[in-house]
Amino acid sequence: MVRSRAAEWKLDPAKIGIMGFSAGAELSAPTALFFDEFAKDNSGEADPLAKVSARPDFVGVIYPGPTPFTRDPATKIPRNVPPSFIASAGSGDKIHALWATDYFTAMLKAGVPNLEMHIYGNGVHGGGLTARGGIPFGTWTDRYIDWFKDLGFLGKPGLSTKAAADVEAFAKKPAR
C-alpha cells in the first residue's frame, strides 16, 4: 500500500521497508521471506496493487515472536531477501532472544548481506523506542540508524542504495 502511494506521499519507492516489535516482528520476519508467494496469491486482475512489489527494501525484527526459522529451520530464503536488522534483550527476554537468533543464524548461514543483530545483556521484553533508564538496550535505535545510513537509505530520493547493490550481487551468486 505504501509503495503504491509513494509518489503522492513523496517517498522513494525503492526505500520502503517494514519493522515490527514482538508480535509485529513475528509478521515482519515472514514479510522478508514470503513476498513472492504473497504477490502470486494476490495478483488478480481486479487487484489494484497486483503490479506493486510487496518485497520490503529492509526489515526490522525487534524482540520477535517465533520466526519462520523457529517453526522450520529449513525455510527457504529468497536470493533477493532484503537486509535485516535484529535487536533484543538477552537473558531478561530469553525466549525472544532465542527467536531472534533463529532468524539471524539462518540468514547468516545463507550468507545474506547487510544482516545485523544486537542482543543486549540487560533489559526485558517490550519498551519499543524508550531509553529504558539509560541501559545499552535503550540505544538500539542508534544502532539501527547507523545501519540504515550505512546501507544508503537516508540518501537522496532516486539514488540507489548500497543495500540494493548488495542484494543484487547476492542474488546473482549460486545458493550455498
Q: Is 2 part of a structural domain of the chain? A: no
How much is the pLDDT for 65? Answer: 96
Q: Is 121 part of a structural domain of the chain? A: yes
Residues 6+ apart with CB under 8 A from 103: 29, 61, 64, 67, 69, 70, 84, 86
Range of the domain at 120: 14-125+135-172
pLDDT tens-digit profile, the chain (176 residues):
899 999 999 999 999 999 999 999 999 999 999 999 998 888 888 888 888 999 999 999 999 999 999 999 999 999 999 999 999 999 999 999 999 999 999 999 999 999 999 999 988 888 887 888 888 999 999 999 999 999 999 999 999 999 999 999 999 998 87
Q: Nearest to residue 137, comparing CAs of 84, 85, 89?
A: 89
Q: Is 44 part of a structural domain of the chain? A: yes
Contact 60, 91 (CB under 8 A): no
Q: Is 111 part of a structural domain of the chain? A: yes
Look at the chain and report how many structural domains it folds into.
Answer: 1
CA–CA gap between residue 142 and residue 123 (Å, rounded): 16
Q: Is 48 part of a structural domain of the chain? A: yes
Q: Is 8 part of a structural domain of the chain? A: no
Residues forming a β-bridge with 120:
89
pTM of structure: 0.94
Grid cell, residue 71, equals 517453526
Cell 530520493 sits at which residue? 157
CATH of the domain at 156: 3.40.50.1820
Grid cell, residue 43, equals 495478483
Q: Nearest to residue 40, comparing CAs of 75, 2, 84, 78?
A: 78
List of E strands, 16-137: 18-21, 59-62, 84-89, 115-120
Q: Is 148 part of a structural domain of the chain? A: yes
CA–CA gap between residue 118 and residue 153 (Å, rounded): 20
Residue 166: exposure state from Cβ atoms within 10 A (0-12, 13-18, ≥19)? middle
Cell 533508564 sits at which residue? 133
Compute the residue count for the chain.
Answer: 176
CA–CA gap between residue 118 and residue 75 (Å, rounded): 22
